Homo-oligomer: A and B are copies of this chain.
């Protein structure tokens, strides 16, 4: 055994990319192949993400499909789509043969519909083909859409020795064996055991004697996010997927769940920042505009709404002009408080820890915003002293600001709760949506309350 230990710190350098580009230009496969062989497939994918499409396709066609199938899975989605366009159905089918069923189904699902059937028909391994076709029937946001068909399954009546023999066969197709699932004659899940249990058992023991009947499972139609929550909560690394009759259909592994968690978090974050769809910094200007403009237009309408409101108070300009100087401040406070409240609630809903009665939450939010509002109001009054503003004006501004903060906090808290109760993703209530409505509401309240205090 050689003692080389892979250093995990792969650094994608311009030199490396240029070297690869140069070798491709020269069509120097003899140099290129061993160079790329040195890298992990995830690293090669990073290199390909940087190449021109033509060069990327060149590399994919050069390397063997065992490596390129893994590379394909790691590529940026946009780039993968383009690469696949440049491969024949036969070539895609060859890649598919090398992939686990879950990845294979994901790749096929990304193809245009007319190509899907073409590619499937070219898959030679009939069992693989049937399994992939089955997986394609499930919604991608369900347990069925996440699961793979590869798993190790034994019957309760087998002996440990017989089991070991058969497992040697099954395990070849399964990259990582987390658990061995025990089924009855109708293929219904009735238990599990670990390889460790198997190794430490005596060879003549029956599987039924050593298996653990306490096995968690999810239904094939369960929501992917719920599966993620269950696996996180119970610290599971794999979970079997069953149908209504408990028949074992597949298994989901934690690495797929990591992706679900990451995507979910990214989506919520983007929603809070006012970005409507999944975009990356390196997407095209067109894609980015499509993701950003809608929220900005919403914000613009909100702003135009406040123009209207302020026009309505135009006559106050002569008597108390300073009120108009404070409108951006009021809008900012209403917006910030609203975003804070909604973010805490949205996260609480996502993590299932928003409990207790509505009245309690209402009182708490009012108390909290009164404390914050009071602290900020004192600062505004101090500021008024410094710029020698009329005291009654400072008082009017700070009192109405406090009220605006309370209202904004309540809107920020209860809009997500109401949306969630109606089955709408509460994350939509964070960011521009809450900011905009709080801006308008805040400015209106501000003028009305200031008017009551100052008397106009």
Contacts and interface: CB of A to CB of B under 8 A. Distances in A.
A336 B296 contact: yes
A285 B368 contact: yes
Interface string A137-167: 0000000000000000000100000001001
Interface in A277-293: 279-282, 285, 288-289, 292-293
Interface string A320-346: 011011111111110111011011110
Interface stretch (A28-36, A125-133, A187-195): A187-195
A177 B324 CA distance: 67
Nearest to A313: B325
Contacts of A233: 42, 74
B329 A303 contact: yes
Contacts of A380: 300, 304
B285 A303 contact: no
Interface string A11-41: 0000000000000000000000000000010
A269 B171 contact: no
Contacts of A300: 329, 333, 376, 379-380
Q: Which of A209, A237, A332 has the most CB of B within 10 A?
A: A332
Contact of A273 (B211, B279, B340): B340
Given A168-B199, A261-B262, A265-B262, A1 B211 contact: yes
Contacts of A190: 1, 3, 5
Contacts of A326: 303, 307
A385 to B, nearest CB: 13
A177 B171 CA distance: 16
A336 B435 contact: yes
A254 B428 CA distance: 30
Interface string A30-65: 000000000010100000001000000000000000
Contacts of A400: none
B293 A189 contact: no
Given A303-B326, A335-B335, 14 more contacts: A177-B195, A261-B265, A265-B266, A265-B269, A266-B347, A269-B347, A273-B344, A281-B348, A296-B333, A299-B333, A303-B332, A324-B327, A328-B331, A332-B439
23 contacts: A1-B211, A2-B213, A6-B216, A171-B199, A198-B199, A237-B255, A273-B339, A273-B342, A280-B347, A280-B348, A282-B353, A282-B356, A285-B371, A299-B333, A299-B336, A303-B329, A303-B330, A306-B328, A307-B326, A317-B321, A328-B328, A331-B331, A332-B436
Interface of A: 1-6, 8, 40, 42, 50, 74, 156, 164, 167-168, 171, 176-177, 189-191, 194-196, 198-200, 208-209, 211, 213-218, 230, 232-235, 237, 246, 253-255, 257-258, 261-262, 265-266, 268-270, 272-275, 279-282, 285, 288-289, 292-293, 295-297, 299-300, 302-304, 306-308, 310-311, 314, 317, 321-322, 324-333, 335-337, 339-340, 342-345, 347-348, 351, 353-356, 361, 364, 367-368, 371-372, 375-376, 379-380, 383, 387, 430-432, 435-436, 439, 443
